[in-house]
Structure formats: structure tokens, C-alpha cells
Chains A and B, each alone.
Chain A
Amino acid sequence: MAKRPIDMHDVELAALAAAGGRAEFGELVRRHGSAVRALLRRMGAQPSLADDVAQDAFLTAFQKVGEFRGQGTFGAWVKRIAARLYLRRRSKEARYVAELEGEPEPSGGVQAGELVDLDEALQALSEVERLCVSLCHGAGFSHPEIAQSLDLPLGTVKSHVKRGLDKLRARLAPVVDQHGRPADVRA
């Protein structure tokens, strides 16, 4: 009996999608759509823009799915496509250069024992820090790739990532144990 898409591994689904399988690609979209949309929102995109870019990313992925050879996960591959599309969209709008420098409004500290999720913690970061941390740890970009994508010096990118992680560490401190493991964190 033929396997149903829902029972298949991502690599199998991608191979069938490369041969034109819409149902199989649909299953990939169902599996990874939320993660891609969440990444774009974490990078700073408004929900409607994030959904729009995520759809574009999946359409691009469908056209290029034959290039996906299973090195790394399908989710990571689509996230990179989505991140690039989002950066291109932003650079077209030429918004971020002016906006990136803005620091966020300081928010209240987290009380010990309070449940903190990543999205909340990211609110403490400036836009450029959030973008750099999300590209690095969410989309798997290297520091040089981020520097090239954002047209920023490599050292600046490294310090944005470090500062962003320091802020996240401080925000997540109540829910991270001494080994860096989450005590009770919602993703």
C-alpha cells in the first residue's frame, strides 16, 4: 500500500514535490509553515508581511525543490529562502537603515519564576539586534552572510549578535538553569 504524505519523511516529500507532487509539497507547507512564519515575525516582520513573504518563500521552494538534496533539514532550507526574501523586501523599501538604530522602549524586568517565551524576550532587543540574532540562530546565516545581506561591517554584526544574546540571556535568566537548559520556556 502506498505511503500517505503524512507518513513520509521530508526528504521523500521533497523528492516527490520535485516531480510535481502538489499534495506532497502541501504536506511540507503544513509541517514547516508555522516555523517559517514565526521566524519572519521574530525577525521583525508584521504578521501580514510575514505571511506574505512566507508564501513567496514556499512558492520559490516549490520551483527550486529539485535543488534540495537533503543536506540539512527542509525547514532550515526554506527558512533561509524566507529570510533572504524578507531582507530583499526590506531593502527594496529602504526602511531599515533609518529604523535599525532605534532602541526599543525599555520594558519591565522579568520576575523570577515568570514564564517567558522567546518572542517576549526578543522584544528587549533593538530591531537590528533582533534581525542579526534571528538570522544567525533562526535562519542559520553565518556572520559574514549577515554582514553581506545587511551591508554592515562584520564586526558590527558580531557585536549586534553578542549584545542581542546578552539581552536574551538576561531576559531568559529566570527560566534557564545553570546548564543553559530551559526550566519552563514556551517556544
Chain B
Amino acid sequence: MSGPDEFDPFIERLYARAPQMADADLFAAGVARRLERGSRFRGVFLGAAGLIGGVVAVRETLATNFVFRAGEAAEGSARAVDTSLTSVGVQGQQAMMNGLDQLGLGSFIDLGALGGMTLFWGLAAALVAAATLGALKLTGQT
């Protein structure tokens, strides 16, 4: 009988010599189907995310126009809303500038130069991008 030195590679060869299974093509088709399903799911998810983002953007734009028109009709209340928005915006900008300063980027990016709406849309875009990236990573793992 052979010694362990000869027997080990022999066993490894036996493991490597697995015969082609009768349903090998069926198995390969199953893997291809699952790959296809994964990419379709990703496509649907991205499409849905884009659609939702678009609807939200249109809704926000219409609401903004409405506030402007309402402001013409009732300047007092619009001014109140605007003041509170500005105050929130200023606070947000200050917090963000503090954060950027800590990262040493404060001198490069001046958020004060951006308008409130620009800042809002910028943040919203960043959040949507982060959520989309996270979801893509998750779908990639399934």
C-alpha cells in the first residue's frame, strides 16, 4: 500500500476529478437566471429611486412657487416662513462650516456664499446619493 506522501496527492486528484453532472447546463442556466434577476432588481430599484426623486423634486419646486405666490398675497406670513427657513439655514450652515473647519476645508468651501435653496438641494442630492450607494451595495451582496 502507498505511504501518506503518495496517498495525499492521489486523494487530491480524486477530488479534482469530479465528473460532469448530467444537469450541468441546467445548473449553469440557474446561475445565469439569478445573475439576470439580480441585475434586473438593481435596475428596477435605481429606476424607482430616480422616479421618486423626480416626483419629490417636482413637488418641492411647485411648493416653492406656491410659497412665492402666497408671499405676494400675504407678505407677512411668507416673511415669517422665510425668516424661519433662513434661521434654520444659517444654523445649518454654521454647523457645517464648523465641521468643515475641523476637517481643514473651511477655507476652501464657503457655504455662506450658497443660497438656502441651493444648500437644501445640495444636501438632498447628497442624501439621495448616499442612500442609493448603500442600497446598491446591499443589492450587490444578495
Tell me if chain B binds chain A: yes
Report how far A22 CA is from B35 CA in the complex, Å.
8
Question: Which residue among B13, B15, B20, B34 has the maximum number of chain A CB atoms within 10 Å of its CB?
Answer: B15
Please state if B28 and A35 are interface contacts (CB–CB under 8 Å). no
Inter-chain CA distance A26–B35, complex, in Å, is 10
Give the distance to chain A from B40, nearest Cβ to Cβ, in Å.
13
Chain A stretch 1-46: residues in CB contact (< 8 A) with chain B:
22, 25-26, 29-30, 33-35, 37-39, 42
CA distance A26 to B68 in the complex (A): 58
- Point out the residues of chain A lying under 8 angstroms from B6, CB to CB: 179-181
- Closest Cβ of chain B to A111, distance in Å, is 17
Question: Which of the residues A55, A179, A181 comes within 8 Å of B30, measured between beta carbons?
Answer: A55
Closest to B20 in A: A34
- Asked whether, in the complex, the Cβ of B10 is within 8 Å of the Cβ of A176, the reply is yes
Give the complex CA separation of A59 and B30 in angstroms: 11
Contacts of A118 in B (CB 8 A): 11, 14-15
Which of A91-99, A131-139, A150-158 is the interface stretch? A131-139
A-B Cβ contacts below 8 A, count:
101
State whether A33 touches B32 (Cβ < 8 A).
no
Q: Which residue of A lies closest to B2 (CB)?
A: A180
A142 within 8 A of B: no
Provide the bound-state CA to CA distance between A134 and B11, in Å: 10
Min Cβ gap B19→A in Å is 6
Chain A neighbourhood of B10, CB < 8 A? 176, 180-182
Please report the C-alpha to C-alpha distance between residue A138 and residue B18 in the assembled complex, in whole angstroms: 10
Interface residues of B in 12-69 (CB under 8 A from A): 12-21, 24-25, 27-28, 30-32, 34-36, 38
Majority-rule SS of B interface residues? helix
Q: Report the Cα distance A86→B93, complex, angstroms.
A: 51
Let me know if B2 and A179 touch, CB within 8 A. yes
Could you tell me which residues of chain A, from 98 to 155, have a CB within 8 Å of some CB in chain B?
A: 118, 133-134, 137-138
Size class of the contact patch on chain A? 35 or more
* Cβ–Cβ < 8 Å partners of B35 in chain A: 22, 25, 59, 62
* Cβ 8 A contact of A30, one of B3, B18, B28, B36: B28
The reply to whether A30 and B34 contact each other, CB–CB distance below 8 Å, is no
| Contact between B2 and A37, CB atoms less than 8 A apart | no
Q: Is the CB of A29 within 8 A of B38?
A: no
Residue of A nearest to B19 (CB): A187
Taking a contact as CB atoms closer than 8 A, the residue among B21, B32, B141 that contacts A38 in the complex is B21
25 CB-based A-B contacts, threshold 8 Å: A26-B28, A26-B31, A29-B32, A30-B25, A33-B24, A33-B31, A34-B24, A35-B16, A35-B18, A37-B27, A42-B15, A58-B31, A59-B31, A133-B11, A138-B15, A169-B7, A176-B10, A177-B2, A178-B1, A179-B6, A180-B2, A180-B7, A182-B13, A187-B18, A187-B19
